[in-house]
Amino acid sequence: MFDIIKQLQDLAAELAETLEEGDRQYRTVGDGGPVIDWWFVIDRNASYYAVYALMQEPVESGEELPDMPVPCGRIEFRDVSFGYDGKRPVLSHISLVIEPGQKVGFVGPTGTGKSTLAHLLLRFYDPTEGTILVDGVDISRYNRASVRRQIALVQQDVFLFSDSVRRNIAFGDFDGSGEAIRRAAESADAWTFIRHLPQQIDTPVGERGVKLSGGQRQRISLARAFLKDAPILVLDEATSALDNLTEDQVQKEMDRLGKGRTALVIAHRLGTVLNADRIVVLEGGKIRETGSPQALLAQSGIFRRLWEKENRKRAKKEGVESCSL
Ligand SMILES: Nc1ncnc2c1ncn2[C@@H]1O[C@H](COP(=O)(O)OP(=O)(O)OP(=O)(O)O)[C@@H](O)[C@H]1O
Ligand SMILES: [Mg+2]
Protein backbone atom coordinates (compact mmCIF):
# COMPACT_ATOMS: atom_id res chain seq x y z
CA MET A 1 0.00 0.00 0.00
CA PHE A 2 2.76 2.45 0.95
CA ASP A 3 4.51 1.61 -2.29
CA ILE A 4 1.46 2.60 -4.22
CA ILE A 5 1.07 5.86 -2.30
CA LYS A 6 4.72 6.67 -2.92
CA GLN A 7 4.30 5.95 -6.62
CA LEU A 8 1.20 8.12 -6.71
CA GLN A 9 3.04 11.00 -5.05
CA ASP A 10 5.89 10.69 -7.54
CA LEU A 11 3.48 10.57 -10.46
CA ALA A 12 1.49 13.54 -9.15
CA ALA A 13 4.70 15.57 -8.89
CA GLU A 14 5.76 14.51 -12.37
CA LEU A 15 2.37 15.28 -13.87
CA ALA A 16 2.18 18.63 -12.11
CA GLU A 17 5.27 19.70 -14.04
CA THR A 18 3.99 18.62 -17.42
CA LEU A 19 0.26 19.21 -17.37
CA GLU A 20 -1.77 22.37 -17.48
CA GLU A 21 -4.69 23.04 -15.21
CA GLY A 22 -7.64 20.82 -15.98
CA ASP A 23 -5.55 18.37 -17.98
CA ARG A 24 -6.27 14.77 -17.30
CA GLN A 25 -4.18 11.74 -17.74
CA TYR A 26 -4.57 8.07 -17.12
CA ARG A 27 -1.56 6.37 -15.67
CA THR A 28 -1.03 2.88 -14.53
CA VAL A 29 1.03 1.98 -11.52
CA GLY A 30 1.82 -1.38 -10.07
CA ASP A 31 4.82 -3.54 -9.84
CA GLY A 32 4.03 -7.19 -9.98
CA GLY A 33 0.98 -6.68 -7.78
CA PRO A 34 -2.48 -5.66 -8.86
CA VAL A 35 -2.43 -3.02 -11.54
CA ILE A 36 -4.41 0.07 -10.78
CA ASP A 37 -5.55 2.79 -13.09
CA TRP A 38 -5.67 6.26 -11.67
CA TRP A 39 -7.01 9.38 -13.13
CA PHE A 40 -5.10 12.51 -12.34
CA VAL A 41 -6.63 15.92 -12.55
CA ILE A 42 -4.32 18.79 -11.92
CA ASP A 43 -6.17 21.60 -10.24
CA ARG A 44 -4.06 24.60 -9.41
CA ASN A 45 -6.89 26.26 -7.47
CA ALA A 46 -6.86 23.49 -4.94
CA SER A 47 -4.33 23.52 -2.15
CA TYR A 48 -3.31 20.06 -3.24
CA TYR A 49 -2.92 18.18 -6.45
CA ALA A 50 -6.27 16.51 -6.82
CA VAL A 51 -5.80 12.87 -7.55
CA TYR A 52 -9.03 11.13 -8.29
CA ALA A 53 -8.94 7.40 -8.25
CA LEU A 54 -11.78 6.47 -10.51
CA MET A 55 -11.84 2.74 -10.26
CA GLN A 56 -9.61 -0.15 -9.44
CA GLU A 57 -9.56 -2.20 -12.54
CA PRO A 58 -7.30 -4.24 -14.74
CA VAL A 59 -4.87 -2.56 -17.09
CA GLU A 60 -6.55 -0.66 -19.87
CA SER A 61 -5.39 -2.32 -23.00
CA GLY A 62 -6.71 -1.50 -26.42
CA GLU A 63 -6.84 2.27 -26.02
CA GLU A 64 -5.90 2.42 -29.69
CA LEU A 65 -9.22 0.79 -30.61
CA PRO A 66 -11.84 2.98 -32.28
CA ASP A 67 -14.47 4.92 -30.34
CA MET A 68 -17.92 3.50 -29.88
CA PRO A 69 -20.30 5.69 -31.87
CA VAL A 70 -23.41 7.05 -30.13
CA PRO A 71 -25.61 3.94 -30.04
CA CYS A 72 -29.35 3.46 -30.50
CA GLY A 73 -29.03 1.29 -27.42
CA ARG A 74 -29.76 -2.31 -28.41
CA ILE A 75 -27.85 -4.52 -25.99
CA GLU A 76 -27.21 -8.21 -26.34
CA PHE A 77 -25.49 -10.53 -23.88
CA ARG A 78 -24.63 -13.56 -25.99
CA ASP A 79 -23.81 -16.64 -23.91
CA VAL A 80 -21.76 -14.58 -21.46
CA SER A 81 -19.84 -16.24 -18.62
CA PHE A 82 -17.48 -14.58 -16.19
CA GLY A 83 -15.43 -15.28 -13.06
CA TYR A 84 -13.21 -12.82 -11.21
CA ASP A 85 -10.52 -15.36 -10.47
CA GLY A 86 -10.89 -17.29 -13.72
CA LYS A 87 -12.02 -20.34 -11.74
CA ARG A 88 -15.24 -19.84 -9.82
CA PRO A 89 -17.90 -18.63 -12.29
CA VAL A 90 -19.90 -15.63 -11.10
CA LEU A 91 -22.06 -15.48 -14.23
CA SER A 92 -22.87 -18.51 -16.38
CA HIS A 93 -24.20 -18.52 -19.93
CA ILE A 94 -26.17 -15.29 -19.79
CA SER A 95 -28.12 -14.69 -23.01
CA LEU A 96 -30.35 -11.67 -23.19
CA VAL A 97 -31.48 -9.03 -25.69
CA ILE A 98 -32.60 -5.57 -24.63
CA GLU A 99 -34.20 -3.43 -27.33
CA PRO A 100 -33.50 0.32 -27.58
CA GLY A 101 -35.54 2.32 -25.07
CA GLN A 102 -36.53 -0.74 -23.05
CA LYS A 103 -36.35 -0.79 -19.28
CA VAL A 104 -35.21 -4.11 -17.88
CA GLY A 105 -35.17 -4.81 -14.16
CA PHE A 106 -32.58 -7.18 -12.69
CA VAL A 107 -33.41 -8.81 -9.39
CA GLY A 108 -32.07 -11.65 -7.32
CA PRO A 109 -30.40 -12.47 -4.04
CA THR A 110 -27.29 -10.69 -2.87
CA GLY A 111 -24.01 -11.83 -4.42
CA THR A 112 -25.70 -13.33 -7.45
CA GLY A 113 -23.85 -11.27 -10.06
CA LYS A 114 -26.17 -8.34 -10.82
CA SER A 115 -23.57 -5.61 -10.40
CA THR A 116 -21.00 -7.79 -12.15
CA LEU A 117 -23.25 -7.97 -15.21
CA ALA A 118 -23.42 -4.17 -15.29
CA HIS A 119 -19.65 -3.92 -14.88
CA LEU A 120 -19.14 -6.17 -17.90
CA LEU A 121 -21.32 -3.87 -20.00
CA LEU A 122 -19.14 -0.94 -18.96
CA ARG A 123 -16.03 -2.97 -19.77
CA PHE A 124 -14.61 -2.75 -16.24
CA TYR A 125 -14.01 -6.42 -16.97
CA ASP A 126 -14.43 -8.49 -20.10
CA PRO A 127 -16.39 -11.77 -20.23
CA THR A 128 -14.44 -14.98 -19.79
CA GLU A 129 -16.66 -16.47 -22.50
CA GLY A 130 -19.27 -15.05 -24.82
CA THR A 131 -19.86 -11.60 -26.23
CA ILE A 132 -21.61 -8.39 -25.32
CA LEU A 133 -22.94 -6.45 -28.29
CA VAL A 134 -24.28 -2.92 -28.52
CA ASP A 135 -26.20 -2.17 -31.71
CA GLY A 136 -24.95 -5.52 -33.02
CA VAL A 137 -21.23 -4.81 -32.51
CA ASP A 138 -19.01 -6.60 -29.98
CA ILE A 139 -18.08 -3.90 -27.43
CA SER A 140 -14.57 -5.32 -27.03
CA ARG A 141 -13.89 -3.84 -30.48
CA TYR A 142 -14.15 -0.36 -28.97
CA ASN A 143 -11.86 1.34 -26.50
CA ARG A 144 -13.13 1.23 -22.94
CA ALA A 145 -13.30 4.96 -22.35
CA SER A 146 -15.60 5.43 -25.34
CA VAL A 147 -17.89 2.59 -24.21
CA ARG A 148 -18.22 4.29 -20.82
CA ARG A 149 -19.03 7.63 -22.42
CA GLN A 150 -22.20 6.10 -23.86
CA ILE A 151 -23.39 4.59 -20.60
CA ALA A 152 -24.42 6.51 -17.50
CA LEU A 153 -23.89 4.49 -14.35
CA VAL A 154 -25.58 5.25 -11.08
CA GLN A 155 -23.53 3.15 -8.71
CA GLN A 156 -24.67 1.13 -5.77
CA ASP A 157 -22.06 2.80 -3.57
CA VAL A 158 -21.97 6.47 -4.49
CA PHE A 159 -18.38 7.59 -4.68
CA LEU A 160 -17.90 11.22 -3.69
CA PHE A 161 -14.48 12.74 -3.63
CA SER A 162 -13.30 15.51 -1.40
CA ASP A 163 -14.23 18.48 -3.56
CA SER A 164 -17.20 20.77 -4.21
CA VAL A 165 -20.71 19.56 -4.95
CA ARG A 166 -20.31 21.10 -8.42
CA ARG A 167 -17.24 19.03 -9.23
CA ASN A 168 -18.79 15.93 -7.80
CA ILE A 169 -21.70 16.33 -10.19
CA ALA A 170 -19.44 17.15 -13.14
CA PHE A 171 -17.30 14.11 -12.22
CA GLY A 172 -14.78 14.37 -14.98
CA ASP A 173 -16.86 16.52 -17.30
CA PHE A 174 -15.22 19.71 -16.13
CA ASP A 175 -16.29 21.38 -19.33
CA GLY A 176 -19.94 21.04 -18.30
CA SER A 177 -21.26 24.61 -18.07
CA GLY A 178 -22.51 25.97 -14.75
CA GLU A 179 -25.99 26.15 -16.21
CA ALA A 180 -25.92 22.50 -17.38
CA ILE A 181 -24.72 21.36 -13.95
CA ARG A 182 -27.46 23.32 -12.24
CA ARG A 183 -30.11 21.89 -14.58
CA ALA A 184 -28.85 18.37 -13.89
CA ALA A 185 -29.00 19.04 -10.14
CA GLU A 186 -32.56 20.31 -10.50
CA SER A 187 -33.63 17.31 -12.58
CA ALA A 188 -32.28 15.00 -9.89
CA ASP A 189 -34.07 17.09 -7.25
CA ALA A 190 -30.68 17.75 -5.70
CA TRP A 191 -31.04 21.51 -5.95
CA THR A 192 -33.51 21.60 -3.05
CA PHE A 193 -30.78 20.62 -0.57
CA ILE A 194 -27.82 22.14 -2.45
CA ARG A 195 -29.24 25.67 -2.17
CA HIS A 196 -29.34 25.34 1.62
CA LEU A 197 -25.65 24.34 1.88
CA PRO A 198 -23.25 27.00 3.27
CA GLN A 199 -21.72 27.77 -0.15
CA GLN A 200 -24.47 26.21 -2.24
CA ILE A 201 -23.06 24.26 -5.17
CA ASP A 202 -19.49 25.25 -4.27
CA THR A 203 -19.71 23.70 -0.81
CA PRO A 204 -17.00 21.11 -0.27
CA VAL A 205 -18.24 17.63 0.57
CA GLY A 206 -16.62 14.69 2.28
CA GLU A 207 -13.69 14.93 4.59
CA ARG A 208 -13.12 18.64 4.12
CA GLY A 209 -16.76 19.74 3.98
CA VAL A 210 -20.30 18.80 4.82
CA LYS A 211 -21.33 15.21 5.26
CA LEU A 212 -24.18 14.25 2.99
CA SER A 213 -26.93 11.78 3.79
CA GLY A 214 -27.51 8.60 1.80
CA GLY A 215 -30.40 10.21 -0.10
CA GLN A 216 -28.35 13.32 -0.90
CA ARG A 217 -25.46 11.21 -2.18
CA GLN A 218 -27.85 9.27 -4.39
CA ARG A 219 -29.20 12.53 -5.79
CA ILE A 220 -25.70 13.75 -6.64
CA SER A 221 -25.14 10.47 -8.41
CA LEU A 222 -28.41 10.90 -10.33
CA ALA A 223 -27.43 14.47 -11.22
CA ARG A 224 -24.17 13.11 -12.70
CA ALA A 225 -26.20 10.79 -14.88
CA PHE A 226 -28.58 13.58 -15.99
CA LEU A 227 -25.55 15.70 -16.92
CA LYS A 228 -23.98 12.87 -18.87
CA ASP A 229 -27.18 12.35 -20.87
CA ALA A 230 -26.03 9.01 -22.30
CA PRO A 231 -28.33 6.77 -24.39
CA ILE A 232 -27.80 3.80 -22.08
CA LEU A 233 -28.42 3.97 -18.37
CA VAL A 234 -27.42 1.52 -15.66
CA LEU A 235 -28.99 2.09 -12.27
CA ASP A 236 -27.52 -0.04 -9.53
CA GLU A 237 -29.80 0.90 -6.68
CA ALA A 238 -28.73 1.17 -3.11
CA THR A 239 -32.07 2.22 -1.78
CA SER A 240 -31.96 -0.12 1.19
CA ALA A 241 -30.04 2.61 3.05
CA LEU A 242 -32.88 5.07 2.54
CA ASP A 243 -36.11 5.48 4.46
CA ASN A 244 -39.38 4.74 2.65
CA LEU A 245 -40.24 8.36 1.88
CA THR A 246 -36.77 9.16 0.46
CA GLU A 247 -36.86 5.91 -1.49
CA ASP A 248 -40.12 6.93 -3.13
CA GLN A 249 -38.78 10.37 -4.01
CA VAL A 250 -35.48 9.09 -5.40
CA GLN A 251 -37.53 6.56 -7.35
CA LYS A 252 -39.35 9.36 -9.18
CA GLU A 253 -36.08 10.89 -10.32
CA MET A 254 -34.80 7.50 -11.41
CA ASP A 255 -37.91 6.99 -13.53
CA ARG A 256 -37.51 10.39 -15.11
CA LEU A 257 -33.85 9.69 -15.85
CA GLY A 258 -34.72 6.43 -17.60
CA LYS A 259 -37.17 8.00 -20.06
CA GLY A 260 -36.07 7.64 -23.68
CA ARG A 261 -33.01 5.54 -22.83
CA THR A 262 -32.22 1.87 -22.70
CA ALA A 263 -32.26 1.29 -18.96
CA LEU A 264 -30.88 -1.59 -16.94
CA VAL A 265 -32.20 -1.22 -13.43
CA ILE A 266 -30.72 -3.41 -10.73
CA ALA A 267 -33.41 -3.38 -8.09
CA HIS A 268 -33.15 -4.14 -4.44
CA ARG A 269 -36.71 -2.99 -3.96
CA LEU A 270 -38.97 -4.75 -6.42
CA GLY A 271 -41.48 -1.89 -6.51
CA THR A 272 -38.82 -0.03 -8.52
CA VAL A 273 -39.15 -2.35 -11.49
CA LEU A 274 -42.87 -3.12 -11.52
CA ASN A 275 -43.15 -0.70 -14.44
CA ALA A 276 -40.24 -2.30 -16.35
CA ASP A 277 -40.79 -3.84 -19.77
CA ARG A 278 -39.12 -6.97 -18.53
CA ILE A 279 -37.70 -8.52 -15.39
CA VAL A 280 -34.67 -10.78 -15.33
CA VAL A 281 -34.28 -12.86 -12.19
CA LEU A 282 -30.70 -13.93 -11.51
CA GLU A 283 -29.79 -16.59 -9.03
CA GLY A 284 -26.44 -18.31 -8.67
CA GLY A 285 -25.13 -16.35 -11.67
CA LYS A 286 -27.78 -17.75 -14.02
CA ILE A 287 -30.99 -16.38 -15.46
CA ARG A 288 -33.75 -18.25 -13.63
CA GLU A 289 -36.83 -16.34 -14.75
CA THR A 290 -37.61 -13.68 -17.29
CA GLY A 291 -40.83 -12.02 -18.35
CA SER A 292 -43.05 -9.02 -17.73
CA PRO A 293 -43.54 -8.13 -14.06
CA GLN A 294 -47.22 -9.06 -14.36
CA ALA A 295 -46.47 -12.45 -15.90
CA LEU A 296 -43.88 -13.23 -13.20
CA LEU A 297 -46.23 -12.17 -10.41
CA ALA A 298 -48.92 -14.43 -11.83
CA GLN A 299 -46.74 -17.52 -11.55
CA SER A 300 -45.44 -18.89 -8.30
CA GLY A 301 -41.74 -18.52 -8.98
CA ILE A 302 -38.78 -16.67 -7.48
CA PHE A 303 -39.99 -13.17 -8.37
CA ARG A 304 -43.36 -13.75 -6.75
CA ARG A 305 -41.66 -15.16 -3.64
CA LEU A 306 -39.30 -12.16 -3.41
CA TRP A 307 -42.25 -9.80 -3.88
CA GLU A 308 -44.24 -11.38 -1.06
CA LYS A 309 -41.20 -11.30 1.22
CA GLU A 310 -40.62 -7.64 0.44
CA ASN A 311 -44.25 -6.74 1.15
CA ARG A 312 -44.04 -8.40 4.53
CA LYS A 313 -40.84 -6.49 5.32
CA ARG A 314 -42.27 -3.17 4.17
CA ALA A 315 -45.45 -3.63 6.20
CA LYS A 316 -43.33 -4.34 9.26
CA LYS A 317 -41.10 -1.30 8.65
CA GLU A 318 -44.10 0.99 8.13
CA GLY A 319 -45.63 -0.36 11.33
CA VAL A 320 -42.49 0.60 13.24
CA GLU A 321 -42.20 4.02 11.56
CA SER A 322 -45.82 4.92 12.34
CA CYS A 323 -45.49 3.89 15.99
CA SER A 324 -45.77 7.10 18.02
CA LEU A 325 -44.44 5.79 21.35
N1 LIG B 1 -14.02 -7.17 -7.60
C2 LIG B 1 -14.34 -8.41 -7.22
N3 LIG B 1 -13.39 -9.37 -7.08
C4 LIG B 1 -13.69 -10.63 -6.71
N5 LIG B 1 -14.96 -11.06 -6.48
C6 LIG B 1 -15.94 -10.17 -6.61
C7 LIG B 1 -15.69 -8.80 -6.98
N8 LIG B 1 -16.88 -8.14 -7.04
C9 LIG B 1 -17.82 -9.06 -6.72
N10 LIG B 1 -17.28 -10.26 -6.46
C11 LIG B 1 -18.00 -11.50 -6.12
O12 LIG B 1 -18.83 -11.83 -7.23
C13 LIG B 1 -20.09 -12.29 -6.79
C14 LIG B 1 -21.17 -11.43 -7.40
O15 LIG B 1 -21.07 -10.11 -6.87
P16 LIG B 1 -22.00 -8.91 -7.34
O17 LIG B 1 -21.48 -7.69 -6.67
O18 LIG B 1 -22.09 -8.89 -8.81
O19 LIG B 1 -23.40 -9.36 -6.70
P20 LIG B 1 -24.78 -8.59 -6.66
O21 LIG B 1 -25.81 -9.48 -7.25
O22 LIG B 1 -24.63 -7.24 -7.27
O23 LIG B 1 -25.05 -8.47 -5.08
P24 LIG B 1 -25.81 -7.32 -4.24
O25 LIG B 1 -27.27 -7.56 -4.41
O26 LIG B 1 -25.36 -7.58 -2.83
O27 LIG B 1 -25.37 -5.99 -4.73
C28 LIG B 1 -20.04 -12.27 -5.25
O29 LIG B 1 -19.72 -13.56 -4.82
C30 LIG B 1 -18.94 -11.30 -4.95
O31 LIG B 1 -18.33 -11.63 -3.73
MG1 LIG C 1 -24.64 -5.31 -6.47
Residue 63 placed within a domain: no
Please give the Cα distance from 194 to 209 (Å, whole number).
13
Closest residue CA from atom 7 of ligand 1: 84
Any ligand 1 atom below 6 A from CB of 113? yes
- 91 in the same domain as 149: yes
Residue 66 placed within a domain: no
Q: Ligand 1: which of 115, 156, 240, 265 to mutate, judged by most atoms within 8 Å of the beta carbon? A: 115
Residue 46 placed within a domain: yes
Residue 84 placed within a domain: yes
- 144 in the same domain as 29: no
CATH assignment at residue 173: 3.40.50.300
**What pLDDT band is residue 32 in, cutting at 50, 70 and 90?**
very low
Could you report the per-residue pLDDT of 257-274, keeping only the tens digit for each?
Answer: 888 899 999 998 888 899
Provide the β-strand partners of residue 214: none
- 156 in the same domain as 234: yes
Residue 149 placed within a domain: yes
Check residue 24 and give its pLDDT.
42
Mean pLDDT, rounded, of the chain: 80
- 168 in the same domain as 19: no
Closest residue CA from atom 13 of ligand 1: 111
Residue 95 placed within a domain: yes
**Number of domains within the chain:** 2
Which residue range forms the structural domain that includes residue 156? Answer: 75-321
Residue 314 placed within a domain: yes
Please give the Cα distance from 73 to 38 (Å, whole number).
29
Which of 141-145, 195-199, 312-316 shows the lowest mean pLDDT across its residues?
A: 312-316
Could you report the per-residue pLDDT of 291-300, keeping only the tens digit for each?
Answer: 999 999 999 9
Rounded to the nearest 10 degrees, the angle between the axes of helix 214-228 and helix 244-258 is 0
Could you report the per-residue pLDDT of 196-229, keeping only the tens digit for each?
Answer: 999 999 999 977 678 888 888 888 988 999 999 9
Any ligand 1 atom below 6 A from CB of 278? no
- 236 in the same domain as 276: yes
Check residue 6 and give its pLDDT.
52
CA distances in angstroms from 93 to 83, 126, 129, listed in the order given: 12, 14, 8
Residue 161 placed within a domain: yes
pTM assigned to the model: 0.79
Could you report the per-residue pLDDT of 39-68, keeping only the tens digit for each?
Answer: 444 443 333 344 444 433 444 566 789 999
